[in-house]
A = this chain, B = another copy of it.
Amino acid sequence: MTSPATPPATVTRADGRTPDQLRPVTITRGWLDEAEGSVLVEFGRTRVLCAASFTAGVPRWRKGSGEGWVTAEYAMLPRATSTRSDRESVKGRIGGRTHEISRLIGRSLRAVIDVAALGENTIVLDCDVLQADGGTRTAAITGAYVALADAVAWGQRHGHIASRGKPVLTDSVAAVSVGIIDGTPMVDLPYVEDVRAETDMNVVVTGSGTFVEVQGTAEHAPFDRAELDVLLDLALAGTAQLTAIQQTALAQELR
């Protein structure tokens, strides 16, 4: 492939975006009445409900460590997709993809949590995809961070987290997908682009611009170093915008 170093400005995508443009992103805090943190996050038509459940105490294997625990579970409603999928609860087991994404979300959030500052408390993030149009895992990470921040604030307000001066959240975290379609690198792929991508990468980045996860897969053709570089540039630019959207959302008064 010849120099893909800059996404060509002249390419227009099916939904009218330029290659380096995100879909409309909205973050609605406090979507649930009871959860300690909850966010409905939308990347275009992709809609994920992120609920953070705060409980005092930690699992047995962590008791007495003085450290907290953050974990995540990802799932998709059966009709989130264009054709219905069977429920994993009915099949009696969780598929590999579900496991993989749950673990990814958990690792991403733990990268910005100071478990010692959290103290012996547990926060579980449930990310349920209500509608899927590509990028569900990156939307989930981006929304889950905001729900997590609200749950941490809840724990502080209610005295479960001691205020020792050290911040519980050491940074923020957001994620975006990037890929190469017909030779053009693009950011934030909806389903129609995702299935056609030669290469597909999910990148998780902190608010300060360092990498937490880089997961690139050659779906149809291996990629070279130059292509990898362009994709990483696009991802860093995209996550920087998502960081700003997260900060704006968190700056508002929670109803």
Residues of chain A having any CB pair with chain B under 8 Å: 32-35, 38, 45, 49, 51, 53, 55, 73, 75, 77-79, 81-84, 87-90, 92-100, 102-103, 107, 111, 124, 126, 128, 130-131, 133, 171, 201, 206, 208-218, 222-225, 228, 232
CA–CA, A44 and B223, complex, Å = 30
Of all chain B residues, the one with the shortest Cβ separation from A107 is B217
Q: B residues within 8 A CB of A111?
A: 218, 222
Of all chain B residues, the one with the shortest Cβ separation from A40 is B130
24 A-B residue pairs with Cβ-Cβ distance under 8 Å, sorted by A, are A32-B79, A34-B79, A34-B82, A35-B79, A51-B79, A55-B84, A73-B87, A75-B89, A78-B126, A84-B124, A88-B89, A93-B93, A96-B99, A99-B100, A100-B103, A111-B222, A130-B130, A201-B214, A210-B224, A211-B218, A211-B224, A211-B225, A212-B222, A214-B228
Q: B residues within 8 A CB of A216?
A: 211, 213-215
If A96-B100, A225-B232 touch, whether A34 touches B81 (CB-CB below 8 Å) is yes
CA–CA, A133 and B32, complex, Å = 11
Q: Could you tell me if B218 and A215 are in contact, using CB atoms closer than 8 angstroms?
A: no
Q: Is the interface of A mostly helix, strand, loop or mixed?
A: mixed
Of all chain B residues, the one with the shortest Cβ separation from A80 is B32
CA–CA, A232 and B100, complex, Å = 23
Q: Could you tell me if A84 and B126 are in contact, using CB atoms closer than 8 angstroms?
A: yes
If A51-B79, A53-B79 touch, whether A215 touches B212 (CB-CB below 8 Å) is no
Q: Could you tell me if B51 and A33 are in contact, using CB atoms closer than 8 angstroms?
A: no
Q: B residues within 8 A CB of A130?
A: 32, 49, 130
Q: B residues within 8 A CB of A133?
A: 33
CA–CA, A89 and B126, complex, Å = 13
CA–CA, A216 and B201, complex, Å = 11
Of all chain B residues, the one with the shortest Cβ separation from A98 is B89
Q: Could you tell me if B223 and A210 are in contact, using CB atoms closer than 8 angstroms?
A: yes
Interface-centre pick from A84, A95, A100, A206 (highest chain B CB count, 10 A): A84
CA–CA, A223 and B211, complex, Å = 5
Give the Cβ gap from A218 to chain B, nearest Cβ, in Å: 5
CA–CA, A224 and B55, complex, Å = 34
CA–CA, A223 and B94, complex, Å = 31
Of all chain B residues, the one with the shortest Cβ separation from A220 is B111
Q: B residues within 8 A CB of A215?
A: 214-216
